[in-house]
């Protein structure tokens, strides 16, 4: 069943889906075991990903399907009408670019930023099949391989300056005579 969204209903939906505030919500469809939201960005211009200059000259439009956070245990899909803009900035190597919705979309991603964050947290806690089962319980279908890929793509955590480095060799099979040892010093 398809529901056309009025302005008042959109305000209620923004309460439930605050990450969609930057969009015009046109339709919500109840598909039984999932929910589909049809929307389009509210901003009239978008920034080129290369030079950062905003453009309002529309080159074309296309539909982008995004997997979003589940609602009430049901998967949610956002069908977003995305515009492609001209970039007329002198010296910019980009001719046209697709707009991104702040806090919602990223280039070449089929999941919203929110869903991606949840899956990364799941993958870091329990990667593999256990993570896939946990995600399913949260209303998100994802394979164990995808969870592993998400972890691999995460940037390495930043560490401060290493001032003391220790090595514990106790019980190591390579030096059975050594029960404990450590190396300490200032990193260079």
Closest separation between CB of residue 50 and Zn ion, Å? 4
**In the chain, what's the furthest Cα-to-Cα distance?**
77
Q: Least Å distance between CB 151 and Zn ion?
A: 33
When the beta carbons of 17 and 97 are compared against Zn ion, the nearer one is: 97
Smaller CB separation from Zn ion, 93 or 153: 93
Task: Tell me whether residue 87 or residue 140 sits nearer to Zn ion (CB atom).
Answer: 87
State how far the Cα of 55 lies from the Cα of 48, in Å rounded to an integer: 7
Shorter beta-carbon distance to Zn ion: residue 100 or 146? 100
What are residue 7's phi and psi, to 5 degrees?
Answer: -60, -40
The packing angle between helices 129-137 and 144-153, to 10°, is: 100
Contacts to Zn ion by CB under 5 A: 48, 50-51, 87, 89, 92, 94
Q: Are strands 58-71 and 74-86 parallel, antiparallel or unpaired?
A: antiparallel
Least CB distance to Zn ion at residue 89 (A): 5
Task: Give percent helix, percent strand, percent coil of the chain, each to the nearest 5.
Answer: 25, 30, 50
Residue 3 CB, nearest approach to Zn ion (Å): 38
Q: Closest CB to Zn ion among 47 and 134?
A: 47
Task: Report the alpha-carbon distance of residue 110 to residue 158 in Å, rounded.
Answer: 27
Comparing CA positions, the residue from 40, 47, 51, 121 lying closest to residue 85 is 47
Q: How far is the CB of 59 from Zn ion (least distance, A)?
A: 13
Closest CA to 78 of 41, 123, 120: 41
């Amino acid at each position: 069943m398809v529901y056309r969204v009025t302005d008042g209903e959109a305000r209620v939906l923004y309460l439930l889906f605050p990450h969609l505030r930057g969009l015009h919500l046109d339709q919500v469809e109840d598909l039984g075991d999932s929910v589909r939201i049809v929307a389009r960005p509210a901003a009239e211009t978008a920034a080129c990903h290369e030079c950062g200059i905003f453009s309002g000259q529309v080159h074309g439009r296309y539909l982008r399907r995004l997997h979003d956070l589940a609602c009430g245990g049901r998967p949610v899909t956002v069908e977003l009408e995305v515009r492609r803009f001209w970039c007329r900035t002198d010296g910019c190597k980009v001719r046209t670019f697709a707009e991104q919705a702040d806090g919602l979309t990223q280039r070449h991603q089929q999941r919203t930023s929110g869903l991606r964050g949840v899956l990364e947290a799941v993958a870091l806690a329990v990667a593999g099949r256990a993570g896939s089962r946990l995600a399913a319980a949260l209303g998100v279908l994802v394979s164990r391989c995808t969870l592993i890929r998400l972890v691999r793509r995460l940037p390495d955590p930043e560490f401060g300056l290493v001032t003391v480095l220790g090595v514990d060799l106790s019980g190591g099979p390579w030096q059975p005579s050594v029960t404990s040892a450590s190396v300490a010093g200032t990193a260079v």
